[in-house]
Amino acid sequence: MALPSRDRLGEISVKAVHLGLRQVAQAPEQRAARRLAAQVAERIGEPDADAPKVAFVMPRDWAVHVQWEGVLAQALRVRGARVDVITCGGGLEICDRANTWEAPPMPCTTCTRYVEGSVDAHGLPRTSLRDGWEGADDHDGAWPELDELRLDQLGSVTHDGLALGELVDIPAKWFLMAAQTADDPLAPQTMRAFLRSARRIAAGASAALDRIRPDVVVLLNGLFVFEAVVWAVCRERGIPVVTYERGLIKEKWLFRRDEAACILAIDDIWDAWQGQALTGAESAELDEYLTARQTGQRTIDRFWGDARFDAPVRTRPGRLAVLFTNLTWDSAVIGQEVAFDSIQSWVAASVAHFAGRPDDELVIRIHPAEVKLPGKQTREPIGEFLARRFPDGLPPNVRVVAADDPTSSYPLMAEADVGLVFTSTTGVELALAGTPVIVAGQSHYRGKGFTVDVSTPEEFAESLDAVLDDPTAFAPDPEPVRRYAYLFFFRAPFPSPGVEEHILGLARITVDDIDQLAPGADPDLDRLCDDILQGGDFGPPPRA
Distance CA 244, CA 492 (A): 12
Is the distance from CB of 370 to CB of 377 less than 8 angstroms?
Answer: yes
> Minimum mean pLDDT among 11-25, 83-97, 171-185, 430-444: which range?
11-25
pLDDT of residue 138: 59
Give residue 60's pLDDT.
98
DSSP lists the bridge partners of residue 365 as: 324, 401
3-state SS class at 220 = strand
Q: Distance (Å, rounded) from C-alpha 107 to C-alpha 94?
A: 10
Measured distance between the N- and C-terminal CA atoms of the chain, rounded to whole angstroms: 57
C-alpha distances (whole Å) from 354 to each of 5, 346, 367, 386, 495 are 41, 13, 21, 14, 43
Q: What phi and psi values does residue 508 have, to the nearest 5 degrees?
A: -130, 125
Same CATH topology for 6-41+51-266+494-534 and 299-490: the answer is yes
Instruction: For 120-176, write each residue's pLDDT tens digit.
Output: 999 999 999 999 998 776 556 789 999 999 999 999 999 999 999 999 999 999 999
Q: Which helix (H) or strand (E) holds 524?
A: helix 523-534
The proportion of the chain whose per-residue pLDDT surpasses 70, expressed as a percent, equals: 97
Residue 284, SS3 per DSSP = helix
Please give the CATH superfamily to which domain 6-41+51-266+494-534 belongs: Glycogen Phosphorylase B; (3.40.50.2000)
**Does 2 score more than 90 pLDDT?**
no
Lowest mean pLDDT: which of 136-145, 275-284, 454-463? 136-145
Q: What is the pTM of this model?
A: 0.95
Each residue's pLDDT tens digit, 110-120: 999 999 999 99
Distance CA 65, CA 83 (A): 16
Q: Is residue 450 a contact partner of residue 483, using CB atoms and an 8 Å limit?
A: no
User: Cβ(233)–Cβ(199) under 8 Å?
Assistant: no
Cα 355 to Cα 1: distance, rounded to the nearest angstrom: 39
Report phi then psi at 350, rounded to 5: -65, -45
In the three-class reduction of DSSP (H, G, I as helix; E, B as strand; rest coil), residue 26 is classed as: coil
Q: What is the pLDDT of residues 312-343, one digit of tens each?
A: 999 999 999 999 999 999 988 899 999 999 99
Kindly list the domain boundaries of the chain, sorted by start residue: 6-41+51-266+494-534, 299-490
Q: What is the mean pLDDT of the chain?
A: 94
Q: Is the preceding peptide bond at 519 cis, omega within 30 degrees of 0?
A: no
Average pLDDT of 287-303? 85
Residue with the larger pLDDT of the pair 372 and 135: 372
DSSP label at residue 487? I
- Where does 356-452 have alpha helices with state H? 369-372, 382-389, 409-415, 426-432
Tell me what pLDDT residue 3 has: 54
The reported pLDDT for the residue numbered 422 is 97
Q: How far is CA 190 from CA 147, 160, 297, in A?
A: 12, 21, 37
Quote the radius of gyration of the chain (alpha carbons, Å): 24
The residues facing 490 across adjacent strands are none
505, burial (CB in 10 Å: exposed 0-12, middle 13-18, buried 19+):
middle
Please compute the mean of the pLDDT values over residues 519-528 and round it to a whole number.
Answer: 96
- At position 115, the amino acid (one-letter code) is V
Q: Is the pLDDT of residue 302 over 70?
A: no
pLDDT above 90 for 57: yes
Mean pLDDT throughout 345-362?
Answer: 98
Instruction: Count other Cβ atoms within 10 Å, centred on residue 41.
Output: 13
- What does the pLDDT read at residue 1? 45
Q: Is the pLDDT of residue 8 over 80?
A: no
CB 351 within 8 A of CB 395: yes
Q: Provide the pLDDT for residue 542.
A: 73
The tens digit of pLDDT for each residue in 186-236 reads 999 999 999 999 999 999 999 999 999 999 999 999 999 999 999 999 999
For domain 299-490, which CATH number applies: 3.40.50.2000, 3.40.720.10, 3.40.50.720, 3.30.230.10? Answer: 3.40.50.2000
Confidence of residue 299 (pLDDT cuts 50, 70, 90): confident
Q: In degrees to the nearest 10, what's the CA dihedral of 516, 518, 523, 527?
A: 130
DSSP 312: P
Mean pLDDT, residues 59-73 taken together: 98
Cα–Cα distance between 110 and 129 in angstroms, integer? 17
